Amino acid sequence: YDGKGSELVMHELYRGILEQLYYSSICLDLASVYNVNTSGLHIPIAGDAPLAEFYDENTEIKPFNPATSKAILELHKMGQRVQCSNELLSDAYINVSNMVTNQIGSSFALTADTSYFQGNATVGIEGVCDAIEGYNAGSNVIEVADPDAPTTGELAFPWKTVHQNSRNRKWAVSPQGWAGVMAIATAPEAGAVVTDSVRATIYGAPVYVCTTLPDDVLAIYGDFEMSTAVGIKSNGVTLRGSAERAMELDAYVWVGTNRMAFAPHSPEFLAMLKESP
């Protein structure tokens, strides 16, 4: 008891991450998100349906076997450990608590977005960018001659290239790609809208600025929900603290964990603009 009302603070508070983050995850806004209750989840994916036929009365209707595949969401654990001296805690307890939760939450969000776009070969995660480049010999990739000033034709390439069934289309652009968009924002034929009050759009699709795209990728366009899946553990992010773990250092230790899965299963719904080598 510290004489400052600590008996009024619920212990369960320490098991969650406060929603005060320096960096918020973008992939959770783009992909289809699934709750995974076990170590993994299989998601069935249907192929394109053929055209139906017209039949005369009392005529047998022909069967067809739908083409299906599956996406595998295998959970991987990310973790972060933070250690603070008890002197720091006693001098600025509330600030340190916010700092720890912010740092761990932001770290997890940044790791999730980096893994989503770039993958992680160490744990076997394929990134969205690699999936697009590996699809149909890279036919959904265009190299931009001048990254600082992409042409309206280059911006139109992904719009006409992605699968025709792409419905909820969005842009994920790098800071450099965003600079190029700003450069042509005044061109009416680009269909670009750039304001402070509403989200920017290109060809009617909203734009998300993303700092975790690979250095040579300017933008990705298409239906991220139909092409990618992200799995999250039902209990979400957990945070545990211990005063005994670093007792010899007179320090307090927090350990945060989070389990997520990534599957870019249908790259035909996406197209990518890259910087020319």
Please classify residue 193 by burial: count the beta carbons closer than 10 Å to its beta carbon, then call 0-12 exposed, 13-18 middle and 19+ buried: middle
User: pLDDT at residue 144 above 70?
Assistant: yes
Strand-pair category, 40-46 with 68-74: antiparallel
Predicted local distance difference test score (pLDDT) of residue 162: 95
Predicted local distance difference test score (pLDDT) of residue 185: 56
Give 177-195 as a DSSP string: HHHHHHHTTT-GGGTEE--
pLDDT digits (tens, 9 = 90+) for 181-224: 776 655 555 555 555 556 778 888 888 999 999 999 999 999 99
Predicted local distance difference test score (pLDDT) of residue 106: 87
| Alpha helices, H only, the chain | 27-30, 86-91, 93-118, 128-134, 152-161, 175-183, 224-227
Distance CA 265, CA 125 (A): 12
Largest CA distance in the chain: 86
pLDDT digits (tens, 9 = 90+) for 26-78: 999 999 999 998 888 888 887 777 788 899 999 999 888 777 788 889 999 99
Calculate the alpha carbon distances from 94 to 89, 98, 146, 149, 253 in Å: 8, 6, 49, 47, 15
Type of residue numbered 204: G
Predicted local distance difference test score (pLDDT) of residue 244: 84
